[in-house]
Structure 1
């Protein structure tokens, strides 16, 4: 569980049992529902021990692995001092690019057809809609756009651009480190090759959340090791903050109906985490989930297992929407025989894509 000082500064994460104890004794209050975070009422950041806590990043184009680790020197059985790293929290941040891409009906088109000597190099690929892709067929780009010279010029100019993805990823990584370092926590990230080397040396399988704790210097000759990784990861998915479109289109792209300009209805907005107390009927009981608002006040609530309509009078706001959804997944199985340097426990297996949301 995430823990905050009474001033709101981050402290050392704690076990769920410890969080329940602090809440039950009145020493802490709930600061956030998702991800679940408590705030201590009697302890400041200056009076807390957070030495050795570090933040490690493994940036990716589709997801970013984030690990909070505890690092300290320990004396081994042979009397040598080695660095021991323990994973405290693992987070997989899934970016919105895949969601946006899956919502766009586009194809990858070869500018120079493969039947005429084209290749799968990036310099020969462009994005095209389905009708244009089918109409072009095996024709050359100058033949297909002979009657549209302006568009042909734009396509040729696009092909001559350098590869921006690698530069954008490197810029994002450096900006992340620079921004997060302002919070007073040591932040580490490394090149993909060095991270992969460390991960394999520790006997860890491939995943973003296992790459993250392997970033940074690990001296194998000295006996440095990653001895623990969390058995469960927090999956954070970027969902955005709604649409700016003022109309809802049909399947052909023409406006079908007009959307309301207001996003807050009866005190709630779509994506808010709410608690619903339904007094009677099929859905009688207490439910926790995300809400989709309607102007009439009969909002729709989505839980882990159900979806139904409920009056706004029966809803209580737990947390405002922040553009993300939160869930939990088991880390992939780790084998004790994967490598000699890994001495942590074998974790329970699970599909990282099978996310259990904490909202319900």
Structure 2
């Protein structure tokens, strides 16, 4: 990943490579400003003495995960048309995992506790009909998506000299999806025809075959009620099937095809009529996020999800949230995309409530009054060097503290339990996020370059600038 660089006064400079960051630290020209994401601060450079190149933040908003990418805008001439086209040299990739579901569950638990409390205190009347909601109000679980996304956009703007922002104006037109024959639906015409519908179905059916649950295979759009029997193209009559199941079902009624699997038949029929909740959540927050991005004062490019899917398909990039963000907007080529992705999981900063509740709102346990134990707090990034025993070795991750001094450390995909506090060393204080890294992606191109035109992109010097030297 590219390393963000700050000058002596904390202003952003052009990012540099990891190798150059190590040289600057070894020569005493820089100090470590932040560990995750790794940021250095120069001690002998001011921002006014540096040159900058155009950097852009790209976003792929989602209900559960939002993809972010910090890219450098590049230009090259199309060999066929002679026009100048915009490309993207990838610097950093991020995936921001939201906690909207946890917020909704916490509000439900609080509601149960208050209901129980009002049951014990009969004289306390419930509050209702006396609260007003401002214009543009969003539920806390939805507002969280906008707030956390903007928090990381502002962070990247503080760590890098960003000059523009590109984002999906995500929208699923429920009426048009339900009735494709409706007139005036622009995104179902021309080159992008069908991309919105396919993306909606992939999200609704979990990217697997509805008949055999097979994953990671090419999926085809299947009519539950065949067109030969009077079926329509409405979204409630569409599902996904692999080539084998699609050919095997053919024009047969689904009741006859799944006569031996009544449970699967009931699930498919129920899922077909059920709307996609994630699409509704994204629809509710799309304009709030767009207006928040415009408030930054940077030029904002808004585009559709169909354009993103079209770019990713034509460029031949793998399906990830971060690489979807790279494909947002006008992009004719992508270079140096084979980079690790930093997964940022929203964990919160704890709760003021020090009582555990059951599902009925009654207390079932109590937490300690102090959140910090032996100098550590739950969520801190620590490194534990255990010399002996079954857990001997080095463990790095988020810590969960206990009053006894026996901590748990959450490493990549696992939890190491029973680590003594004396073996732990603090790396970074908790900031409300958990960090992990996804390994390098392996693409078809050996240099990680993909382009829509036959003309290859020029060299990009590993996608980072050398201006900090």
Who is 2:3 aligned against? Answer: 2
Contact 1:73 1:81 in 2 (8 A): yes
Who is 2:147 aligned against? Answer: none
Does residue 376 of structure 2 align to residue 273 of structure 1?
A: no
Structure 2 matches for 1:137-152, cutoff 5 A?
A: none
Shift, 1:278, TM fit: 4.6
Shift, 1:236, TM fit: 1.1
Instruction: Note closer, same or farther for the CA distance 1:245–1:225 as it changes in structure 2 (3 Å cut).
Output: same
Task: Identify which of 20, 26, 29 aligns with 1:27.
Answer: 29
Instruction: Note closer, same or farther for the CA distance 1:8–1:281 as it changes in structure 2 (3 Å cut).
Output: same
Who is 1:94 aligned against? Answer: 97
| TM-score with structure 1 setting the length | 0.65
Partner deviation per Cα, 1:77-126 (whole Å, 9 max, x = no partner): 67654333212111111111245678989xxxxxxxxxxxxxx99xxxxx
- 1-side partners of 2:365 and 2:88: how far apart? 56
Who is 2:54 aligned against? Answer: 52
Contact 2:338 2:443 in 1 (8 A): no
Shift, 1:326, TM fit: 1.2
Q: Return 35-44 or 325-334, whichever deviates more.
A: 325-334
Greater relative contact order: 1 or 2 (C-alpha under 8 angstroms, separation 6 or more)? Answer: 2
- 1-side partners of 2:25 and 2:346: how far apart? 30
Shift, 1:21, TM fit: 1.6
Structure 2 matches for 1:1-360, cutoff 5 A?
A: 1-6=2-7, 7-75=9-77, 81-98=84-101, 165-178=281-294, 181=296, 187-218=300-331, 224-250=332-358, 254-278=362-386, 283=391, 287-304=395-412, 307-330=416-439, 334-335=443-444, 340-341=452-453
Partner deviation per Cα, 1:281-329 (whole Å, 9 max, x = no partner): 5555654332222234444444456624445454432211111111111
Structure 2 unpaired stretches of 5+: 110-234, 237-278, 458-469
2:308 alignment partner, SS class:
helix
- 1-side partners of 2:383 and 2:340: how far apart? 26
Higher percent of residues as strand:
1
Contact 2:378 2:430 in 1 (8 A): yes
Shift, 1:66, TM fit: 0.8
Contact 1:56 1:215 in 2 (8 A): yes
Instruction: Note closer, same or farther for the CA distance 1:23–1:50 as it changes in structure 2 (3 Å cut).
Output: same
1:11 alignment partner, SS class:
strand
- 1-side partners of 2:35 and 2:354: how far apart? 31
- 1-side partners of 2:440 and 2:319: how far apart? 11
Contact 1:275 1:287 in 2 (8 A): yes
Shift, 1:217, TM fit: 2.8
- Aligned residue pairs total 282
Shift, 1:207, TM fit: 3.1
- 2-side partners of 1:229 and 1:47: how far apart? 30
2:25 alignment partner, SS class:
helix
2:56 alignment partner, SS class:
strand
Higher percent of residues as helix:
2
Q: Return 51-60 or 324-333, whichever deviates more.
A: 324-333
- 2-side partners of 1:18 and 1:186: how far apart? 31
Partner deviation per Cα, 1:192-246 (whole Å, 9 max, x = no partner): 233333333333344322221222334xxxxx43334243211111111123332
Shift, 1:52, TM fit: 1.3
